[in-house]
Structure 1
Amino acid sequence: MEELLNRFRSRYTEQLDELLSDHKEQEIDLYNFCKTTMFNSSCNAVFGRDFPCEAISKDYARFEQSISCFIKGYPRLIDREGFQARENVHNYLKTFLADPAAVANASELVISHMNSFEQKPEVNELDNKASYFMGILFASASNVVPAAFWIVAHTLATPGTKEKVRAIIAKNYDADSDTFDWDQLFANEELKSLISETLRLHSNITNARLVSEDTEMVIGPNKEKKVVKKGEILLLVSDLVHWDPAVYPEPEKWIPERFLPENAGKLILAEKNWKTYVPWGGGLHMCSGRFFAMNEMVVQLTLMLWYFDITLHEEIPTAYIKERFGLGVAHPTREMKATIVRREKSALRA
């Protein structure tokens, strides 16, 4: 994970320098800005600098827009553009994976998986490898991108929160070397709470589990007893607990301090009795990339808020779920206009 984080941080910093090299104020769509920087940085961290991020990004966005069609097994004629975009992404991956020099510059995550494929002739076909890494690409980009947007948007839109975050960063910033104490920032309870609250509010995950034996369950406020049979499938939609006022008072409100230890029993209720927080899934199938993703979001929030002044010109948009129901972190329904300008060095030292 340390290697991936170093790759991500280096690439993200470079992108900010490339996009905002001077101190002139620029107008941006905050979501597209976060999408571009996070997608490229995540892809380069995982797949290396030779990965065609910019070339693949348009097709990937179109593929992602149609992801529910593929999951539901719709025929190609329903969404020809989406199916073509998926094939284009798949072909980009095949070309990349067929180049030993490009793979050699990828992360250890990719290299180790490629080595393991070589030991399994039955799955070592290029098509199979490209399909597998489409899953890695989806996991490393599709949920982190909208999560990064919501984190920055809420932090800027909620009075006093930007100042609190900057104070945390200031305590872990050395002006002489222009470096951060990342270990302290990753471990900071307030930053972790802020991110966890964002995922609670905007993640829309469906966890599916196969019932291994007949089990009696107590369901609903009337405590109705129901037996689920071995072989049946149970679906848990995260919104059922994440937006439940019996678990999270004022569930529609973004409260960055909600997950601080001292707020247990106040802003989070009944967590000892129920599984009340499931943005990463649960059990043996809990997302294995959750620690990397959390730290990615700390890096992004730190670099954007410390080096730039961002002014929002619109209220935070609502989340788009509909066809993406249960498929991950929700996207915004519209763009969000903002202006961004690089902070003067004197402000960083103050």
Structure 2
Amino acid sequence: MSFDLSKTYPILIERNKALIAIIGFLAFTTYKIIDRRNQYGRPPLLKYTIPWLGSAIELGRDPDGVFKKATAIFGPVFRIKAAGKEFTYITAADIISNIYRDAKVRSRPIAIIYTRLTIDCIQTFEYTSIRIEMAHIIFGMSKHLCDDMSSMEHIFKAHHDALNPAGALKIHHRYGAFAYECIQNTLDNLPSTTKLSYLIKSPAYDAALYAFFGKTYPAQESYDPFKIFDEGFIMLQMNLPRFMLRKYLNAREKLIDLTENYFANPHEDCSEFTHDVEEVGRDAKWSLRDIANFFIGDIWALQSNAIQAAYWIIALQLQKPEGLGKIIEEIDMQRNNWIKDNNPITQDETCCQWILDGSFPLLTSVIQEALRYCAVVFSIRLVAKETTLGGYRLRKGEYVICNTRSVHMDGDIHNNPTEFIPERYLPGTGKYTKNGRTVPNHSMPFGGGISMCEGRHFAMGELKIFIALLLSIANIELDPTSSERPQFNWAHMGTGLLPPIGDLSVCVTRRSTGTL
């Protein structure tokens, strides 16, 4: 006997319409109950139209506008979905501060002995595991090494200690000598009219690498693979399928190869920082490739943010009516006073001592304002245990992101926040309050808490040295024949300083004061 299913199914469906309807209704109702239960007390979700894509297009066009709109509608805690990923964002300084303060130290140094402690409490917002995961998926560190928490924590601690203010000052002296040399070499081969990016990025890139690794590091050979790797940083961070990342992974491997070869050969001219951190890796029996992988993170940090900041400081100031004039006056005054008081004889490392000894209130203000204006830092944390934040429930295992730029762009805290104001941070000019209360963390270009940039002490001195040296050696003016102006490249949102799209054409000549 055979059955004609094409006839049987319609008959069964016809006879059981009521039952099917009841089952469908119960299933739908159960789903809505579970979904409502899951959403109960959750941060509100910004509405979007296209599934999976979410708010990605809007974020690409006007991220400041998206976060401002969401904050106005929901308050400072809300969810945004983009490109298949959903995160809870925080845009209020006080809540961000609370998250930054929530940190558990897995181990502490006792006397001279590094001793591991067991702590019963579990932090609410965890970062160390994220840092280790990023070391693997972005910088290519081996999985087995990343799983060795004790070893990773040990080298993280050594890295942090070596970049303290005293350690950064030692690198500043090296950096000043190399920056002076690299700027001079660039000017020797520069046409009178050029792109600002070339004037800034070429000497700044070489000088930073030489300061940390010495001249045995192949700086110029590393430039092209680094540029490609940096372009793909966000895509690597998103952990997209490998076929989409091939170009960037190949560039990363080239960069690692160059760095591994550097460590395999004599490099006695490296900085004390590099030597000390390398020794920690060698003592832990890390391979040279693992050591190279670790230092790729430092190379990226050196080249991706501080150089962009140097570019924007000059680019934004050139577009102001006063140009670079007032900053040059301050630099010349400090330089001339130092030479008068110290009567230097040699050019070598004393070429930056006058900068390290000077206060430079206007230049410092310009640096701080450029960092506020151009930085988009997303400090990410893993929710380690279910908690409430800003009145909303957060689940264990999800991620929250502190959007520090929203604080930088808050008109209740900063006057005219969307305008670049060079004098904003001059001593005695700023009172940063909101709702009648002082906002101590009104500017967070380096993030905060356990994830605060460890290189911030070096970066601030690096920027002051580079800008002061450059403007003491070269005259830089806008090319009157060019109307092109750089804009923010929002595709790099969340990684630090935004790179430019477009460029400035500038006229460059040497100054007669280009010594010491």
Shorter chain as denominator, the TM-score bin is: 0.7 to 0.9
Please say if 1:188 is aligned against 2:364: no
Is the 2:374–2:497 Cα contact (8 Å) retained in structure 1?
A: yes
**Residues 1:295 and 2:295 aligned together:** no
- Mapping of residues 176-215 of structure 1, within 5 Å: 177=344, 181-185=354-358, 187-211=359-383, 215=387
Change (3 A) 1:4 1:273: closer
Deviations 1:12-36 (A, max 9, x none): 11122222249x9612110122111
Counterpart-to-counterpart distance in 2, 1:252 and 1:297:
23
Does residue 281 in structure 1 map to residue 447 in structure 2?
yes
For residues 120-157 of structure 1, give each alpha carbon's deviation from its aligned partner in whole angstroms, at most 9, with x where no partner exists.
Answer: 12xx1122111100001111111111111001112222
Distance in 1, matches of 2:208 and 2:223, equals 12
Give the match for residue 179 of structure 2.
12
Unaligned runs of 5+ in 1: 219-224
Farther-moved stretch of structure 1 (139-148 vs 158-167): 158-167
Contact 1:25–1:341 under 8 Å retained in 2:
no
Note the C-alpha offset of 1:200.
0.7
Q: 2:414 maps to what in 1?
A: 248
**Residues 216 and 228, structure 1, Cα contact 8 Å, conserved in 2:** yes
Superposed, 1:46-57 pairs within 5 Å as 46-57=212-223
* Paired AA for residue 16 in structure 1: I
Report the residue type matching 1:164 in the other structure. Answer: K
Matches within 5 A, 1:85-104: 85-99=251-265, 101-102=266-267, 104=268
Q: C-alpha distance in 2, partners of 1:305/1:291?
A: 22
Structure 2 matches for 1:1-350, cutoff 5 A? Answer: 1-21=168-188, 26-99=192-265, 101-102=266-267, 104-121=268-285, 124-160=286-322, 162-174=324-336, 177=344, 181-185=354-358, 187-211=359-383, 215-218=387-390, 225-229=391-395, 232-265=398-431, 268-270=432-434, 272-273=438-439, 275-313=441-479, 314=483, 316-322=485-491, 324-345=492-513
CA distance in 2, matches of 1:216, 1:276: 24
Equivalent in the alignment of 1:221? none
Counterpart in the other structure of 1:222: none
AA in 2 matched with 1:114: E
* TM-score, normalised relative to structure 2: 0.61
Distance in 2 between residues matched to 1:76 and 1:209, nearest whole Å = 25
> Does the 8 Å contact 1:217/1:227 carry over to 2?
yes
Query: Is the contact between residue 236 and residue 245 of structure 2 (CA under 8 Å) also seen in structure 1?
Result: no
Q: Residue in 1 aligned with 2:129?
A: none
When the two structures are aligned, how many residues end up with a matched partner? 333
Assess if the C-alpha contact under 8 Å between 1:147 and 1:329 holds in 2.
Answer: yes
- Residue 111 (structure 1) shift: 0.5
SS across alignment from 1:303: helix
Contact persistence 2:387–2:393 (CA under 8 A): yes
Q: SS at the partner of 2:402?
A: strand
Deviation, structure 1 residue 260: 2.4
Shift of 1:229: 4.8
CA contact 1:154–1:316 (8 Å) conserved in 2: no
Instruction: Name which of structure 1's ranges 336-345 and 203-212 shifts more when overlaid on structure 2.
Output: 203-212
Provide Cα deviations, 1:199-226, integer angstroms capped at 9, x if missing partner: 11111111012346655443xxxxxx32
CA RMSD of aligned residues (A): 2.4
> Would the aligned equivalents of 1:211 and 1:228 in 2 still touch at CA under 8 Å?
yes
Moved more, 295-304 or 166-175: 166-175
CA distance in 2, matches of 1:170, 1:35: 23
SS of equivalent to 1:262:
coil
> Contact 2:186 / 2:202 at 8 angstroms: preserved in 1?
no
- The whole-number CA distance in structure 1 between the counterparts of 2:319 and 2:226 is 29
| Structure showing greater relative contact order (alpha-carbon pairs closer than 8 Å, 6 or more residues apart) | 1
Q: Which whole-Å CA distance do the structure 1 matches of 2:398 and 2:438 have between them? A: 27
> Helix, strand or coil for the counterpart of 2:365?
helix
8 A Cα contact 1:154 1:254, kept in partner: yes
Alpha-carbon distance in 2 for matches of 1:263, 1:227: 40
TM-score of the two chains, using structure 1 as the length reference: 0.88
Unmatched tracts of structure 2, length 5 or more: 1-167
Counterpart of 2:88 in structure 1 is: none
3-state SS, counterpart of residue 181 of structure 1? helix
Counterpart amino acid of 2:377?
Answer: I
Q: Which has the larger radius of gyration?
A: 2
